[in-house]
Structure 1
């Protein structure tokens, strides 16, 4: 076992000696989501340091941080690959309901395509509060998960050949588009994601370069922390608390184990 393999397992609380299989991937995804927060602190600083295997391990394993989709799915991809799973990184475009269109940042969502016994699955631990916490099969099969219902439809768009749709538990009554993605042109190396990082950091249409955001998803709900509010969904009940900058830092440490400068 590599040092990275062991350290990632320790970071999320997954047993050191247990092989990673399709049978325990659900548990792995829940632990990953609960341990690695979706957050944009580095993006807010304008940090454009190179994204590569070493920097991902330094950021998420050694500095105990979370990150955005390219960080979280980047590190999970490296871990799954290190455990001999057949995985590829893919790019997609997030649908923005307020715009009634896809994000102006284009192909800047990063997820994972996993192949097992000839079947392909979408795996995503970097989609904010919208995580399935399960591998979602490609081909319109509806998946019921702890966070809602998800399906991946084979549908051509300018952003690829598939679309993820979802109905989040206690939030959505109808299916809605999460993102479109391209399964035919996978990312060959995590360093290719530096362009994605640059766009998310600099593009005026990026939702992540303006205000702080920290999100975590669990099997019972989710929690979202902004500079003004802390909102928790748990078993269908919502609580919302107004906060200031000092409380923001306290809650980031208490609920996400993040040290905010």
Structure 2
């Protein structure tokens, strides 16, 4: 077993000798979402690094940090490949949650396409609080998880040939688009994501270079921490606390171990 495989299992709480099957991916995705936070602290601290397999292992599996989509989905991709799955990475364009208009900063989302049997599925552990927590078939079929309902529909647009739509549990009453992606353009080298990281870190329209943000799943929902608020969703009940810097540091340690 490779170092990455062993360390990833240890990080999310899987036994070293457990065989990972397609049927067990829901559990893997749930554990990953509860353990490895979606967060931008390196971007805020201006401490970015070259995107490589070795650096991702160091950041996420040695230093036990989280990351953004190009980091979280890349490390999960390597884990899936190590465990015998057929998968590729691809890029997408995020759709604004409220306006449902595509962001203009480009193809800055990274996701995974996994082939099982004769079907291709979208797998994503890097989309903040919008995670499917289950493989979503590209057939248009609706699938459900603890986080809501999800489906992937084929489209013909400048942003890609598919969109993922979601209806989050306790949050959405109607379907909304999460992002468009292009299944015809797999990424062959994750060094390509350095361009994404540069946009996220430097572009004035980036939402991740202005304030710290951390979020992860819990058994009952999710937690979201910023420099001004701490929000908890627990079985449909939401509590939001306004915080200062000292409280931010307390919560960062308590809920994210940082």
TM-score (norm 1): 0.96
Aligned to 1:97: 97
Aligned to 2:2: 2
- Does the 8 Å contact 2:149/2:168 carry over to 1? yes
Comparing 100-109 with 226-235, which one deviates more in the overlay? 100-109
Structure 2: gaps spanning 5 or more residues: none
- Does the 8 Å contact 1:131/1:217 carry over to 2? no
Q: RMSD value over aligned CA atoms?
A: 1.0
Q: CA deviation at 1:98?
A: 4.0
Q: CA deviation at 1:106?
A: 1.4
Aligned to 2:159: 159
- Does the 8 Å contact 1:40/1:213 carry over to 2? yes
Aligned to 1:111: 111
- Does the 8 Å contact 2:152/2:163 carry over to 1? yes
Comparing 91-100 with 171-180, which one deviates more in the overlay? 91-100
1:201 has 2:201 as partner: yes
Structure 1: gaps spanning 5 or more residues: none
- Does the 8 Å contact 1:46/1:202 carry over to 2? no
Q: Aligned equivalents of 1:218 and 1:26: distance in 2?
A: 15
Q: CA deviation at 1:48?
A: 3.6
Comparing 176-185 with 217-226, which one deviates more in the overlay? 217-226
- Does the 8 Å contact 1:230/1:243 carry over to 2? yes
Q: CA deviation at 1:219?
A: 4.7
Q: CA deviation at 1:45?
A: 2.2
1:167 aligns to what SS in structure 2?
A: strand
- Does the 8 Å contact 1:223/1:232 carry over to 2? yes
Q: CA deviation at 1:184?
A: 0.4
Aligned to 1:122: 122
- Residues 212-257 of structure 1 deviation map (CA, whole Å, 9 limit, x = unaligned): 0000123521111011110001100011111111111111111122
1:31 aligns to what SS in structure 2?
A: helix
2:133 aligns to what SS in structure 1?
A: coil
Q: Aligned equivalents of 1:189 and 1:111: distance in 2?
A: 14
Aligned to 1:85: 85
2:95 aligns to what SS in structure 1?
A: strand
Q: Aligned equivalents of 2:250 and 2:86: distance in 1?
A: 40
Q: Aligned equivalents of 2:30 and 2:197: distance in 1?
A: 25
1:102 aligns to what SS in structure 2?
A: coil
2:130 aligns to what SS in structure 1?
A: coil
Q: CA deviation at 1:47?
A: 3.0
- Does the 8 Å contact 1:166/1:175 carry over to 2? yes
- Does the 8 Å contact 2:224/2:232 carry over to 1? yes
Aligned to 1:220: 220
Q: Aligned equivalents of 2:57 and 2:78: distance in 1?
A: 9
Aligned to 2:232: 232
2:42 aligns to what SS in structure 1?
A: helix
Q: CA deviation at 1:159?
A: 1.1
- Residues 64-105 of structure 1 deviation map (CA, whole Å, 9 limit, x = unaligned): 100000110010011111111101001001101344411122
Aligned to 2:56: 56
